[in-house]
Structure 1
Amino acid sequence: MDRAQKQAEIEELDRAFSESGVVVISHYVGLTVAQMSELRAQMRNVGARAKVAKNTLARRAFEGKPGAGAAEYLKGQTLLAFSEDPVAAAKVVVDFSKKNDKLVVLGGAMGATVLNADGVKALAELPSLDQLRGGLIGLLQAPASKVARVVQAPAGQLARVFAAYSEKDAA
């Protein structure tokens, strides 16, 4: 890899770290190509990315970032996973590591917070941003539907009273 390629790689990682809500660092020693492809496909499905990069280039990309302390986990064969949703990448990596013991979660960074392996696992247990949005919308819609039913109830009662009077007059 020549100097220009290294600089391009650092800039790509720098951009990914800046735009991401979370960066998860893990070891992937022993994963087959098929397993790695499966992991990358799962990451794409949730809007996350996984990248294998040289540790020295990743350390340089981390420099000056709020979560730069996570660079201490960049030892050995590391896989970087990142996503805008702070939970998505962590959830996929942790779920995949439960099924495959060759993927070991080391730690990561979420904003300025450096996470250890337990922190990443705790983050993975949280609901995703989309799930939180859905729950919030459900909470907001529930009172509106209740108000609509309450408002419609008197009109329905009046209609039944009028129907009863009309039946009585007809008889």
Structure 2
Amino acid sequence: MKRPEKGEMITKLTDKFRDADAIYLTEYRGLSVPQISDLREKLGTDTTYNVAKNTLARIAAKEAGIEGLDDMLKGPSAITFVKGDYVEAAKVLRDFAKDNKQLIVKGGFADGTVYDAEGVNTLADLESRPVLLSKMAGALKGTMAKAAYAFVALPTKAVRTVDALREKHEKAA
């Protein structure tokens, strides 16, 4: 690859690093073209799976302000650039690696944190964002219902106590 082509490639990779919500690094040695195509399809349209030269990827990551990926950019590397639900992408990579032993997840980067391979597997074990949000909403709804009941119950109890005292005074008089 000539220098102008390298410069173009670095610019494209830098943009991808900046635009991605998460980045996962894998070793793809031994995967066939149909297997890689299958992986790309499973990752979805918002995620790209690119093979890149490690040196160019290191430079692009640094230009994008991402540090800590150098140790993972060794050997044949493919970069997964995720837009959107990066937990789901981690699940796809983990499951694909279980079925295709040639794919090795090296690590990744999401929310300003560098993850090793085990960290990516931990991300894959999380529930997706919509599920977590719905659980949180359900918990808040239950808490709000209890609070509303408490706010209604206290004045009602006070009114009943005052009524009971009034009746007691009326009977005593």
TM-score, structure 1 as length reference: 0.73
- Give the aligned partner of residue 53 of structure 1: 52
What displacement does 1:14 show? 1.0
- Give the aligned partner of residue 76 of structure 1: 75
For residues 127 and 92 of structure 1, the distance between their equivalents in structure 2, rounded to whole angstroms, comes to: 13
Q: Which amino acid aligns with 2:62?
A: E
For residues 40 and 113 of structure 1, the distance between their equivalents in structure 2, rounded to whole angstroms, comes to: 24
SS of 1:51's partner is strand
Asked if the contact 1:55/1:74 (under 8 Å) is kept, the reply is yes
For residues 72 and 82 of structure 2, the distance between their equivalents in structure 1, rounded to whole angstroms, comes to: 18
Distance 1:4 1:142, change over 3 A: farther
Question: Does residue 1:124 correspond to 2:127, yes or no?
Answer: no
Whichever of the two has the greater Rg, that structure is: 2
The gaps in structure 2 that reach 5 residues or longer are 149-173
What displacement does 1:140 show? 6.9
Q: Which amino acid aligns with 1:6?
A: K
For residues 64 and 3 of structure 1, the distance between their equivalents in structure 2, rounded to whole angstroms, comes to: 17
For residues 6-61 of structure 1, what are the alpha-carbon distances to aligned partners after superposition, in whole Å with 9 as ceiling and x for unaligned? 2221112111111212111111110011101000111125x221111111110010
What displacement does 1:135 show? 4.1
What displacement does 1:112 show? 2.6
Q: Which amino acid aligns with 2:40?
A: R
The gaps in structure 1 that reach 5 residues or longer are 148-171
SS of 1:68's partner is coil
Asked if the contact 1:22/1:86 (under 8 Å) is kept, the reply is yes
- Give the aligned partner of residue 19 of structure 1: 19
Superposed counterparts of 1:1-171, under 5 Å: 1-44=1-44, 47-84=46-83, 85-136=85-136
For residues 114-170 of structure 1, what are the alpha-carbon distances to aligned partners after superposition, in whole Å with 9 as ceiling and x for unaligned? 1111001001111222333444566677899xx9xxxxxxxxxxxxxxxxxxxxxxx
For residues 140 and 112 of structure 2, the distance between their equivalents in structure 1, rounded to whole angstroms, comes to: 32
* Greater Cα offset, 58-67 or 90-99: 58-67
* Greater Cα offset, 4-13 or 90-99: 4-13
* Greater Cα offset, 82-91 or 5-14: 82-91
* Greater Cα offset, 3-12 or 128-137: 128-137
TM-score, structure 2 as length reference: 0.73
Asked if the contact 1:66/1:112 (under 8 Å) is kept, the reply is no
Query: How well do the aligned residues superpose, as a CA RMSD in angstroms?
Result: 2.4
- Give the aligned partner of residue 151 of structure 1: none
For residues 109 and 137 of structure 1, the distance between their equivalents in structure 2, rounded to whole angstroms, comes to: 28
For residues 128 and 9 of structure 1, the distance between their equivalents in structure 2, rounded to whole angstroms, comes to: 33
* Greater Cα offset, 51-60 or 127-136: 127-136
For residues 121 and 55 of structure 2, the distance between their equivalents in structure 1, rounded to whole angstroms, comes to: 26
